[in-house]
Homo-oligomer: A and B are copies of this chain.
Amino acid sequence: MSYNNEKIFVQGWIRNCRFQKKVFFINLNDGTCLKDLQIVCKENITIDFNYIKEKLQIGAAIYVTGRFIMTSDSVQPFELLASKIIILGTSSNQYPIQPKKHSRTFLRQLTHLRLRTKLFGAIFRIRSSVCQTIHNFFHQEGFFYIQTPIITSGDCEGAGELFQVTTLDLNQIPLDKNRHVNYQKDFFGKKTFLTVSGQLEAEALALSLNKVYTFGPTFRAENSHTTRHISEFWMIEPEMAFYNLQQNIELAQKMLQKVIQKCLEENIQDFEFLQQHIETQLIERLRTVVHLKVFPKITYEEALSILLKSNVKFENKIFYGADLASEHEKFLTEVYFKTPVFIIDWPIKIKAFYMKNNLDNKTVASMDLLVPKVGELIGGSQREENLDVLMQKIKDFNINRKELEWYLDLRRFGSCIHSGFGVGLERLLIYMTGIDNIRDVIAFPRVNK
């Protein structure tokens, strides 16, 4: 069936207009895809030609009926010959999004309007696709989607600064007899925070439902003004009963490859736009990752040895027990391997208490996936399933065990090996879009003053 000459209607926003004496052209976009529809208006239009012409400002919303015309032009394979135009919502010359290049810094002040630009439209259609593909991937792999709590009572991860959540009147803080804040009077009767990770709760549910994943917001109150950090971001945290570290690694690779592959299929126009304007080799870079059979995997010690042998003068010292700095990650993944690379078996002391001790009693069965442009994209581990070892680690890490009795129950009753990892959604988007600032891949970024 050919749509040529079919009568149709469209609604959307004016991206641009070109006026000639007896004809004018409108680029109309309804947000659903990158490309505009060209609308051709000739004098035979049923509304006053000059009146309409005046109202057609960039950003206005219009309703158009007309005939769909197939053209022989391959760049513009069809257009709409308008018979009627209705102005739904006018615009004005105050409209800040004009058909020219705006800096991303400027657009960051206009979060409510910036998705109307080609660039941000592309980024956020891809973001949606990434999210929906992730859900779809886990569904097909037999995972249950769970929600872990946002308001929590502790920082067991030791992941950094926390946001406090309270209903106390800060102008009239109730005090206890020691003149400290009386949290008995707070909403939950204790001090509460925003979550930094849903992992511990996800473990409880994996040891009930087998394979689960979270998809939700997490928070860090870090005073950081880098292009990689943000106070509120979204995390995906799968957690699997009966999985060891190697199975965990294979799942992470499979997830990443499937997500990239599917999103490239669904959003190729948007990726092409990004390739044209943001990163020249973007699509090829992503395709290469999809086709990799196995991502390289090295131990932390091997990573140190590669770095030491590199003859590069790093600013940060390399020694056993030090975390890798950004420059080290960059070297390993961008210069040495030129692909994503798993670093496994990290020293016990620089990783979280819940990670499984290896037999060497020096390292844990953990993995970080480093990728070019981003550095650490995924962090995960096998979890310590042995009750005695875990209790000792809680002690060694100076963590309040009372808060974790429920977590220890998971090792008291039907413990089993299990593993999981966390992916930062925004970091994944930086990786997939080539955009270099995390504030440009989340709709309403939350950063400190």
Chain A residues in the interface with B (C-beta under 8 A)? 11, 13-14, 30-32, 59-61, 88-92, 94-95, 97, 111-113, 115-116, 120-121, 124-125, 127-128, 131-132, 135-136, 139, 142, 144-151, 161-168, 170-171, 173, 180-181, 184, 187-189, 194, 201, 204-205, 207-212, 216-217, 219, 221, 231-232, 234, 241-242, 385, 406-407, 409-417, 442-444, 446, 448-449
Contacts and interface: CB of A to CB of B under 8 A. Distances in A.
A170 B163 contact: no
Contacts of A207: 31, 116
A448 B188 contact: yes
A416 B125 contact: no
Contact of A61 (B112, B144, B415): B415
Given A165-B163, A205-B115, A415-B88, A217 B147 contact: yes
A39 to B, nearest CB: 15
Number of copies: 2
A414 B61 contact: yes
- Residue in A147, A219, A232 with the greatest tally of chain B CB atoms within 10 Å: A147
B31 A208 contact: yes
Interface pairs A-B: 8 shortest CB-CB = A89-B415, A189-B449, A115-B208, A31-B210, A128-B144, A112-B204, A61-B416, A61-B414
A201 B444 CA distance: 8
A235 to B, nearest CB: 11
B413 A95 contact: yes
A309 to B, nearest CB: 41
A413 B59 contact: yes
Contact of A124 (B89, B209, B411): B209
- Residue in A120, A148, A168, A210 with the greatest tally of chain B CB atoms within 10 Å: A210
Nearest to A161: B167
Given A151-B232, A412-B92, A146 B163 contact: no
